[in-house]
């Protein structure tokens, strides 16, 4: 079982490297990531969050098929943005509204290394953008104003000490 890395770990602040090998080891890692995500009741999990500095993530939203994205490129986002409350398995207990594009077009590779293009809106678009941020070393709290980010993280640290 994979452990989820928490905020403060270097790997969460680094840009991940392209995924080059689509092999059996990857399939096993993906399976473990889906397990870890289900255990922690998440809907998305990026490789850096389990200590792997590669560009891939998994998504599992109720009512939708489980999804895998490797080396994603966001090729289009809508100008229209929506505010929605987000959390992250790497910052447990912290939630805040984040503004993101309502629609996204993403190009990526599946677990066999085959390319695909997906257009998404609603929660799926949001999760794709959140997880893609992880591959660039960006957490959702980094998209908040400095004061709000500092306040939420101070609360988080205080809770850790109790």
> What angle is formed at CA 141 by the lines to CA 137 and CA 146, rounded to 5 degrees?
110
Residues from 87 through 126 that contact Ni ion (CB under 5 A): 88
Task: Work out how close the CB of 55 gets to Ni ion at its nearest, in angstroms, rounded to a whole number.
Answer: 15
Residue number of the CB atom closest to Ni ion: 88
Write out the E strands in 23-155.
Answer: 44-46, 56-59, 67-77, 81-86, 96-101, 103-109, 115-121
Tokens linked to 39: 């255990």
Rounded Cα distance, 107 and 61, in Å: 19
DSSP 8-state class, residue 73: E
Looking from the CA of 17 toward its CB, the CA atoms found within 13 Å total 5
Binding piece for Ni ion, criterion CB under 5 A, among 64-72, 83-91, 102-110, 120-128: 83-91
- Exactly one of 17, 111, 131, 157 is catalytic; which is it? 131
**Nearer to Ni ion (CB atom), residue 113 or residue 138:** 138
Write out the E strands in the chain.
Answer: 44-46, 56-59, 67-77, 81-86, 96-101, 103-109, 115-121
Q: Is 28 a catalytic residue?
A: no
Binding piece for Ni ion, criterion CB under 5 A, among 13-21, 52-60, 84-92, 118-126: 84-92
**Nearer to Ni ion (CB atom), residue 70 or residue 135:** 135
Smallest CA-to-CA distance from 138 within 48, 59, 67, 61 is with: 48
**Nearer to Ni ion (CB atom), residue 22 or residue 131:** 131
**Nearer to Ni ion (CB atom), residue 88 or residue 152:** 88
Task: Work out how close the CB of 24 gets to Ni ion at its nearest, in angstroms, rounded to a whole number.
Answer: 27
12 lines the binding site for Ni ion (CB under 5 A): no
- How many residues touch Ni ion under the rule CB under 5 A: the total is 1
Q: Which residues bind Ni ion (CB under 5 A)?
A: 88
Active site members: 131
């Amino acid at each position: 079982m994979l452990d989820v890395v928490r905020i403060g770990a270097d790997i969460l602040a680094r840009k991940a490297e392209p995924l080059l090998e689509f092999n059996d080891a990857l399939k096993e890692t993906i399976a473990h990531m889906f397990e870890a995500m289900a255990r922690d009741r998440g809907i998305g999990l990026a490789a850096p969050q389990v200590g792997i500095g590669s560009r891939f993530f998994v998504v599992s939203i109720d009512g939708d098929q489980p999804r895998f994205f490797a080396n994603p490129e966001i090729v289009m986002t809508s100008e229209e943005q929506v505010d929605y409350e987000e959390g992250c398995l790497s910052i447990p207990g912290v939630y805040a509204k984040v503004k993101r594009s309502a629609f996204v077009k993403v190009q990526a590779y599946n677990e066999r290394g085959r390319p695909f293009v997906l257009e998404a809106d609603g929660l799926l678009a949001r999760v794709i953008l959140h997880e893609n941020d992880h591959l660039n070393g960006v957490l959702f709290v980094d998209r908040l104003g400095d004061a709000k980010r500092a306040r939420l993280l101070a609360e988080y640290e205080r809770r850790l000490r109790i």
